[in-house]
Amino acid sequence: MTQLTNSAPLRGEITIPGDKSISHRSVMFGALSKGTTEITNFLYGADCLSTIGCFRQMGIDIEQKEEGRLIVHGKGMRGLSAPGSHLDVGNSGTTTRLISGILSAQPFTSVLSGDDSLNSRPMGRIITPLTRMGAKIESIRGDGCAPLRIDGTNSLHGITYHSPVASAQVKSSILLAGLYADGVTSVTEPVLSRNHTELMLCKFGASVSTEISADASARISILPCQELYGQKIHVPGDISSAAYFIAAALLVPGSELLIKNVGTNPTRAGILKVCQDMGADITYVNETAEGGEQTADLLVRSSSLHGTVVEGRLIPTLIDEIPMIAVLAAFADGTTVIRDAAELKVKETDRIRTVTENLTRMGGDVTPTEDGMIIRGGKALHGTVINPYLDHRIAMAFSVAALASDGVTDILDSSCVDVSYPGFFASLKSLTV
C-alpha cells in the first residue's frame, strides 16, 4: 500500500523511463535478427521482463546492463528453439499477442499463460486472423482466452484481414506472422493504431507499407522476409508514463515541471491534444526524431481546466491514458464525455468499471456508459482507499488524483505500478516534497 496526501507544487524536471511498447518490440525483433541489437533506455518494467523471459526460454541470450542498456544476441528468423516449459507472459497483453504471431511460424509447439488478468483477456481477436493464415492456435480452456497452445507451422499464407478494432497488438501479431507467410499480408484498421511495429520492422530490414484513406482508415502491408538485421535502438520516454506527471503538474497549483524525453509519435500523443483542448499550458521544447519516432521535452504549468469531448479517431491515440484523462476531467469545470472507447473494458481491468468505482469513492460525479464515461467536473475530491484491482494505470492515475485532493489516500497493492513504471512512487515523491 502507498499513502499519499495533498501535494506541494511540482517543480524541476523529470526524465521519463523508456516506452513499454517500443521496449517489447526491440527485444522481439532483436531476437529474430541476425547479429546483435543494442538497446538504450530500455524499460525494465515487469511486462518487458516477461518478454525477455520468454525469449530467453527460447534460447536467446539477452544481457541486462546498467541504466536501461540491453543487448540481445539475435539468432535470426529461424533461430528460436522450443521452450522447455510453458512461456510465462505475466500481465502482458503485448507479449502474448505479438509473440503468438511469431510462434505460429516456429517449428515447435508452445504454450503461453499469464496471470489471472491476462488469462481473462480476449485472444479470439488474434486466434481468428492467425488461424486464417494457417496457424494452429487454440485457447486451451476453450473460452477464447489464454492459456494458448500454438503448434507452429511452416506453411502460413498471406491474407488481408479487416480488423474491426484499431489494435496495435492485433495488427502486430498478424504482421509478425506475415514475415513468415508465402505472400503479402495486409491488415486494415478503422484508424491507424500505434505504428511502432511498422516503423521498427522497416528499420530491422522488413518491407512494410502503410496507406491511409480519406476516412482515416489504414491498410498496412508486409512482405515475406528472409532475414532481419540487428540494430541500435534508443527507446524514447513513454508518453503513457509521462501522462501522470503531465496531469500532476496541471492539477497541483503553482507547479512548473519540465518532463524530458517524451515520445510524441502522433499515433500515441492524443493525451496532449486533449489536455490542450481542456486549457492546459504545455510547451514543447527540444523536438527531435529518430527512426521515425518523435520526442520532445514538455514544459507543463498548472492550469485551470475545462471539460471536453474525447471520441472517435482520437481514442486509439490515447487509449491507455483514459484513466488519467477521467481524473483530469473530475477536476475540470464542466462536463467531459468520453465515448467510442469500449476497448477500455478489455484492458488489464475493465477500466470503465475501475475508474468509475474509484472516482466515485473520491467524491467524483461519473456515469459509466457502454463505451466510455460522462464526468461532471468541479467537485472537490477527498482522500479514500483506492483499489486498483492490480491495474498499474488505475493505481497511477489515482495517485495523481490524491495529490490534488483533500485528506489521505491509500493506494492498495500499489506495487502493481511495476508493470510499466517501477520507480513511479519514488519519482512522484521526489517532485512533491
State the catalytic residue, choosing from 320, 350, 410, 413: 320
Q: Which residues of 232-270 are buried (b: 16+ CB within 10 A; e: fewer)?
A: ebbbbbbbbbbbbbbbbbbbbeebebbbbbbbbbebbbb
The answer on whether 347 is annotated among ligand-binding residues is yes
**Edge-first strand listing for the sheet containing 2-5:** 2-5, 408-411, 385-386
The Cα–Cα gap between 53 and 234 comes to 21
Query: Does 171 count as an annotated binding residue?
Result: no
The edge-to-edge listing of strands for the beta sheet with 281-290 is 11-15, 256-263, 293-301, 281-290
**CB-nearer residue toward ligand S3P: 282 or 344:** 344
Q: State the minimum distance, in angstroms, from the CB of residue 383 to ligand S3P.
A: 28
Whole-number Å distance between alpha carbons of 14 and 416: 21
Name residues whose C-beta falls within 8 Å of residue 142's C-beta, 6 or more positions apart in sequence.
none
CA-CA distance, 238 to 236, in Å (whole number)? 6
Q: What are phi and psi of 181, to 5 degrees?
A: -85, 175
**Residue 93 is labelled as binding a ligand:** yes
User: Does the annotation place 353 within a ligand binding site?
Assistant: no
E strands present in 127-231: 136-139, 148-151, 160-162, 185-189, 208-212, 218-222, 228-229
**CB 9 to ligand S3P: min, Å:** 30
Q: Please say which residue, 325 or 381, places its beta carbon nearer to ligand S3P.
A: 325
In the complex, least distance from residue 106 CB atom to ligand S3P, rounded to whole angstroms: 21
The answer to whether 232 is a known ligand-binding residue is: no
Q: CB of residue 20 vs ligand S3P: minimum separation in angstroms? A: 7
Give the Cα separation of 30 and 37 in Å (integer): 5
Torsion of CA 164, 110, 58, 236, to 10 degrees: 20
The length of the chain, given as a count of residues = 433
Nearest to 167 by CA among 93, 244, 241: 93
320 is catalytic: yes
Alpha-carbon span 207 to 186, nearest angstrom: 12
CA distance 75 to 96: 21
20 is in an annotated binding site: yes
Nearer to ligand S3P, 7 or 23 (CB): 23
**Considering beta carbons, is residue 172 or 308 the nearer one to ligand S3P?**
172
* C-alpha cell belonging to residue 207: 518491407
> Closest approach of Cβ 27 to ligand S3P, in Å?
12
149 marked as part of a ligand binding site = no
Closest distance between ligand S3P and the C-beta of residue 168, in Å? 3
Q: Measured from the CB atom, is 21 or 405 closer to ligand S3P?
A: 21
In angstroms, the CA 326 to CA 337 distance is: 9
* Residues near ligand S3P (CB under 6 A): 21, 94, 167-169, 172, 194, 319-320, 343
Contact 407, 5 (CB under 8 A): yes
DSSP 18: B
Distance, in Å, from the CA atom of 249 to the CA atom of 247, rounded to the nearest integer, reads: 5
CB of 165 to ligand S3P, least distance (A): 7
393 is in an annotated binding site: yes
Q: Nearer to ligand S3P by C-beta: 144 or 279?
A: 144
Q: Is 61 within any annotated ligand binding site? A: no
Closer by beta carbon to ligand S3P, 241 or else 255:
241
Binding site feature residues for 3-phosphoshikimate = 20-21, 25, 167, 169, 320, 347
Binding site feature residues = 20-21, 25, 93, 121, 167, 169, 320, 347, 351, 393
Active site amino acids = 320
